[in-house]
Structures are given as structure tokens and as C-alpha cells.
Structure 1
Amino acid sequence: MTQRQARSRYGIYTIGDENFFPGILAAINSLRYYGYSGDIGVADLGFLPWMRDYLNAMPGVVVLAIEPINRLIRFTDVKSDDQPVMTGWAYKVFSILYYDLFDSWTFLDADYLPLCNLEAELFPLIEQGHFVSSEDGTNIWDERHEAAIGVRPGSYMNINAGFISLDMEVHAPIIHEWRNLMTRRKPFDLWYGDQGALNAVLDKYEVPKYTVDKVLWNQTWLNEVMAAEGACELIEATADVHVFYPPKRDRLKGWHGTGWHKLWHQIGIDHYRKSDRQEREKFYLESQGKSPKAVVDIFEYFLFMEN
């Protein structure tokens, strides 16, 4: 596929491979269920052919090849044939800027399960010029980071937790500098992959970070706490299946998987260990209790939803 000439007003990006296919499929089905009708660009890091065909057959979904980007991009500060696109999750920003499909967009990690219509919830904030995401801990930049890119030393809120939303008319310079930083090998170890690099660029320019409620939109370190708490309720109302969270008196808006224990692992789907039954069963047991049962159940509901 080549780059498009005309961009849509708003769209959603995600990216993954064979191992993350269940998460991407559940997310697409969830988005459609909650009323999102716009385009979804899915960058292909290694789907099986049938997975690629399945996604391409879904209305409004386009699979984006990663190979053209790999051929074009090299590190800019060292002589190397290594591909920065595949280093430290950098493929996210490289894919977004190469295909350039949307004026405004939300990027979803492949292990993020949206539980609402993202356009309806986030686009009004994007229109106000906000850089929207969720709080995800703290970054401390020091003299090394200042020397590398010019960010002022200090402690800063870290954002991401599975998604970012923005308007390219407002924030394109940030996204382009984020991409450029991911082509530099020498300072790479200073960041926690792509997320650290993005936060460093935002902090360098003191861009305000608009954060949504980290409980309702899910900050990953709350997963097991909320699972043990047992407060989440699966509401199976007609035409409105959702997860209600009584402590907030509201429904969950999204869920981000914990570490390597993804929602699909918790229902026994594991493409990564498909050739080793013993390891697959062991990891399945390790994955139990990592997310509330209501969240696991609604993930399974969306994963196997008929299109």
C-alpha cells in the first residue's frame, strides 16, 4: 500500500503481529460495537496470511505493511545496517508518519481494549488542542537527557498507558521530533523505548499533558489491584454490554494489559507458545487473576463477536 493523498478527519491506528492479533480483533469489534464507524489502520509486524486477510476484509480496516518503512529508515548518528523501525517499539511512530492517514488520531497499543466509542469520548478534547493520554508513572530527566535533546532536568509525569490522541495540525512537530529521536542510536538507552522518547520531547517543549481518569481508562499498575478488589461488574444490558465500576459510579472506558499477561492469555489463547503445550498451560495459569473477571469476560465477548 502507498501513502494516501487525502487524510480523513479522524481515525485510529494500532499495530501488532501474530501474537497480538486477538487483542487487535477484540479492539476492532469493541470499537464497532460502541458506535465508532471511522477508519482503522493496522500496521502489520508479522500477521499470519489468514490474519491479514481477515483484517483486510473488515469494513473500514486497512492493513499497513511495515516492509517499505524498514527499507527506508536507518540510524542517523551511526553507520549501521540495523533497522531503528524495529527497535524499542519505534515502529509505532514510523508507521503513523509514513502512512499519514488522519488529521487527528488515536493510537492504541495492541493490548489496549477500548470499552467506549473513542471518537465520541476523545475527539472533543482533541478539537480543543489537547494532547490526550493517561498517567503512567514518573520520568526523571537529568543532565544526560539535557545534553541529548535539551530537556530541562527534573521530575515529570509520564503518560501513555496504552493510547495517545492528538491533532496533527497542533502537534505534528512533536510527533516528527519523536520520530527523529527514534533514529538516533547513541542516546537510545536513555529512554524507555518509544514511550520515554515521546515524553522527553513533550517535556522539552513543556507541552501540557491532558490525562483522562486513570482508573476508568486504566493505568496498567492498577490491573491486579482492581482484580483483587473484585468490584468490576459485567453489565449485559440489551445493546449495551459494558463493565461498570461502582467505586467511581461509572463504566470503564478502556483496559490496558499488564506486562506479558495479556487478556487473551487469560482465556487460553497463546500464539507465542503455540508449539509448546506445557509452557502454554503454565503461562495460562500464571495469567489468572491479572485482570478483573468482568474485563476478561467482556474481552472474550468482543473477541468472538460475529461481524
Structure 2
Amino acid sequence: MRRRTVVTMGGAIAIGSIAGCLGSDDGGSESTPPTEPGDSSGVFPAEPEGAAVSFSVDPSDAEIVYGADYSVTVGARSGDKSVDVVTTIVYQLPGDSNWTGSFDDTQTVWRLDAGKSQTKTFEIEPPTVGDFSVGLLNLVQKDVVEEWGLTVRQPQVALGETVSYYDGLALNIDARLRDAVEVTVFDADGERGDYEVSPRDGQWVEVAVVTTNTNTKTIVRPPDGSDVGVLAGGGPLDRTRSVRSVWADVTDYEVLGDHPEFEEDAGFRIEDNDEYYHPPDDLIPGATASGNVYFETDASITLEELSIRVNYNDVRATWG
């Protein structure tokens, strides 16, 4: 572990009001009471000299998938005098010259009698994916006393499985191939009726989206249909034409079954399909929104060749 002095700090990390912080100890999701040095339980740092305090950290993992549990156990040990000190856990994103911010609910007060040790475990939600530094900041000395790395990978699961996000969103994606989808055909005079329409010499990719707010306290913003993409054959599939298409004598679409003669101004909007994914702006706790998003692909493509991607909160999750 490395030690680094903090020269300047971002606005997200509060250093002031330390005297007020010393009045109570509400940090840490789990802790052990002070113990004698040499106790085998917990994580205890080396014995400091004099009135100093020493720290050690034990991260649960060096690499995780976004959405997975991650925790850090911090150990503190006093020297031959009692100490009161305040710490928090900070992080630095790639490209930032200073510490980017601090993790919620990690600021804590350590009250240690002379020669005593204590450990506390913090549940941490990484801010994004990628490789970044994590540090234990001594708010009294404005010193990062321990530093370690963390890699957070993009989620990648099979079709039909659920990806969980730290804000409480649970996102399930599935897909199937369809020859035709029922749509409402319209022209300048209005609706002409519901008919099954197929991409000529192709097929539809029907992506089923189910979003659920598992957070019991706050609302979450679900991804929009435009956040969903499909890759097949080495490239992205067309969703834009599928959303709004114009019917004409020469067309990329074919109406199946019996149907009247359509004028050149006839067309359809697949987003008017009753099952299309139209999520609300926000999901209240426990709420679910679901629906389908449609793409077009060649008739030769199989389901195993598809890769569904959703970009949400700067995280790109992949299904398939």
C-alpha cells in the first residue's frame, strides 16, 4: 500500500468540520470493539510509535463486475496514547490528477485508547467501470494513508438474465427472431388496419426489456429504447428504419396475408405496436416497466450471433 499526501481535494470530499465529526461515530457498516494488540481476529496494522495511529486495509476483491458486492475492512491501531481520528474512503478516476470523490457512508470516527485496535467494514458501491485508485484518507492530517487499486468490469451475461445496478435498477434483457410483427398501417386518410409486416428478405429481432426498481427508498430512471442496441455479423443493426418506415411500391417491407392495395403515402410506425417499450421517466420503488424494441437483420442470422447492449449510467451491459 502507498501513502500519499493530499495537496488539493475535489469539492466532493468534505475536509472541514472535523471537530463536529468527532462528536459522534456513525460511519462503517460493521465494526469490532477495541481489542488487545495481537488479537488474531480482524485486520490489525503495525504498532505505531508514540501518540500516532496506524491503519491497514483489506479489500474484498481486486477486480469485480459492476453491480457486484464490494467491501473494505479497515484496521486502526493506536500507540502509547489514546487518539481520536476521522477517516473516509476516497477514489480517483483515470485521468484525474486529484482524488475524484469519496464513497457514501465511509466517513467514520476512530476513538482508540492507548495501545488498542479496532476494525470496521464498509460496503462500497464503485462509481463506474474501469481501473481506478482507492484510498483511505485521514481527514485530520489530510493524508491518504493507504492506497490500493480496483478494477470494475462491464457486466456481460446470457440472454434472459438480469443485470443489477447500484442505484437499484434491475434490468432483464431477452431476445427472439420473428418473421413478422403486427403493426397498424396508415395513410393520409388515417388508419387502414392491423397487418403483419416483415422486412423483405430479412427478419425482426424482438428485444424484450424488463426494468424493475428494487430500491425501496428512491426513484430510478430506467433506460430508454434508444439506449438499447444490437450487434450481429460484426456490426450494429438498424433500429432507426424500424421505428418509422414509409410504405411504397418499392419497399424494404412486405405485408403478409390478405390486404388491400396501399397507396404510396401509406406507412407504419412500429413504436405504435401495443407491446413496444415505452418506459416512464422514473420508476417508483417496486415499479416495473417492460416492452419490446425491434431491429432488423438478415434472414441468415441466428439468435446465437446476436449481442444486445444497453448503455445506462455510463455502464455498457451486454447480453448474449
Whether TM exceeds 0.5 here: the answer is no
Larger relative contact order (CA 8 Å, sep ≥ 6)? 1
- TM-score between the two structures when normalised by the length of structure 2: 0.21
- TM-score between the two structures when normalised by the length of structure 1: 0.22
* Rg larger in structure: 2
Structure with the larger helix share: 1
